[in-house]
Each structure stands twice: as C-alpha cells, then as structure tokens.
Amino acid sequence: MAKLFDGHGNEIEIGGGESGKLEVADYKIYEESDGTQSRQGVLTYNGLNLYPVNKPLQRENETKLYSGGLMVTLGDSYTAYLNSYFDTFAQKHGLIQKNVGLASSKIARPEGEGQDTIKSFVTRLDELIASFPITINGKAYTTTDVKLITFMGGANDWTTIDTEKGIDRIGDRYSTDKGQIYGATKYCLETLQKTFPSADIIVILQPNNGNNTDFCVMEMKENIVKECAEMYSLPICDCCFNFYSPSNPTEFSKYWENDKLHLNADGHQKLIDKLEVTLNTLDYYKS
C-alpha cells in the first residue's frame, strides 16, 4: 500500500480499526458532482476525496480577482463620496465601477406626502435595472456582467411611527411595503439577487455619525439592514458596530469630516480596507 508523508518527510499514519479512513487534521471530505470545478490539493484514500480546509485568516493576503465585469455600488452620500475609492477598489479586483450613490437618499420610497423628491434606493434600483445593457467607456455590459455589488444605507431613512395618521416608516421583518425601511431593504436585496445572479453581494453596515446626540436611532436602522441581509444569507461588512466610533474624540477627529456626518479621506480608506478583507475572505464566490 502506498504511504503518505508530510512536508518534513515524516510518514503520515493512516487510521486503522473499523473506520479505515485517513486521519489528517484540517482536511474535509467532499463528493465530486457534475459541473463542479475540481479542487486543488486533493487526497484520495479508500474512495474518499479529501481537501485542505481553507480558513479565512489564510486568505486575508490574497486578492480576489474577477475576469472583468461590473462592480455596482448602491447607496447614499457615503457611497457617492467613496466614488474614487470604489473606482480604485474595482480596478484592483478586475472590475469597472458603476456608482449608484445619491446624497440624502433613503432606502425606502416615500409614498404620498413628501413623495420621492430625492430618488430612493428602491427607485434608483428599478431605474438601474431598466437601463441595462449599459455602456461604460465604450463597452456594453449586461446584468450577467455584474460581478460584485455593495449595498450601504439607512442613515437618511425615517424612523417615525404615527399610528393616528396611519404612518409607519419602519415596519417589521414581514413587511413588503417599499415605503418602510424593512420592506424596502428586503425588496432591494431580493431584487439584487434575482437580477444579478452572477454577482457577489456585500452589505456594508453604515458608520455612525457624530451629529447624533445618541446612537440609538442609527443602531436601530443598521440592525434592520443587518437583519435583512441575514434573511437573504448575504455577507456583511460591519462598519457600524465593529468600526471606529464618533463617540471617541480621537477617532472622531481622525476619521470624520467637520460636518460630523461623513468620513474624511482616512475614514474612507479604513472602510475600503475593511471591505477588502471581507471580499477576500468570502467562503465562496459566484464567479
């Protein structure tokens, strides 16, 4: 019977007994199926295929490189002001960015009073989809060319509940009302998945801002976004609950603009750095 050796030339002991299976740490068993790409570093023993476990910490220094396509960034002013950073990020990963950020925009689309004077995420997503195929720098792209999407928002959404007037801008996890943050976020995430099946979608939880007298409102909104992302099994880049805080004077002066609302250049780079790690350590990719 053939023998196995480790990198130092030491023989790897093969488990005996009733199992008769190879006992090697950090290897998993998998089954080949039609249409799946063969794995690297596979060991075969007694009809079992084994591959080395790929842990996130082992992938942090690896860069995910797509073979062309679009990166769509959907958001509010944070996304709009990150445009040049997202451009650089997209190019690094083999993509071209399509920025769909709009200052002061809400995820939810207001109905009736107030109307949608600043186009919401819902409205702009519908318009984006209707615009395909789109041409950028002389090259046409279809929905299947979208390989990466970021979704970040919530800061501008209303959190009012006026039962006497029949107005509830929040809703709950069962809401399908696109005028509520729950229903609108669910609509956006589900529509992104259905329309762009080849895209990896990352939900960025939006950083807090120092203009708030307390952080309860922003925490509530980003928890809703987080909950919706988890409903659709989407990876999360947490820049709200696990990020620099404007409540810390040192971090506030270092990473936020004087308007107390937006990140400065250093803050933008920190967000991009965190997004970089999130993308490079995804458990799997759509393309």
- Domains of the chain with CATH codes: 4-54 (no CATH), 70-280 (3.40.50.1110)
Q: Residue 16 corresponds to which tokens in the numbers above?
A: 């005996």
State residue 254's pLDDT score.
Answer: 97
Q: Is the peptide bond before 133 cis (omega within 30 degrees of 0)?
A: yes
Q: Give 15's DSSP letter.
A: P
State residue 263's pLDDT score.
Answer: 96
pLDDT by position in tens, the chain (length 287): 556 666 566 776 665 444 455 555 555 555 555 444 444 556 666 666 666 665 555 555 689 999 999 999 999 999 999 999 999 999 999 999 999 999 999 999 876 455 667 899 999 999 999 999 999 999 999 999 999 999 999 999 987 777 677 778 899 999 999 999 999 999 999 999 999 999 999 999 999 987 765 678 888 999 999 999 999 999 999 999 999 999 899 999 999 999 989 999 999 999 999 999 999 999 999 99
Closest to 96 measured CA to CA, from 142, 62, 146: 146
State residue 62's pLDDT score.
Answer: 82
What's the predicted TM-score (pTM) here? 0.79
State residue 56's pLDDT score.
Answer: 57
Q: Which residues contact 169 (CB under 8 A, 6 or more apart)?
A: 108, 157, 158, 159, 160, 161, 179, 180, 181
State residue 41's pLDDT score.
Answer: 57
Q: How far apart are CA 108 and CA 121, in angstroms?
A: 7
Q: One-letter amino acid identity for 13?
A: E
Characterize the bridge pairing of strands 96-101 and 146-152.
Answer: unpaired
Q: Residue 179, exposed/middle/buried by CB under 10 A (0-12, 13-18, 19+)?
A: buried
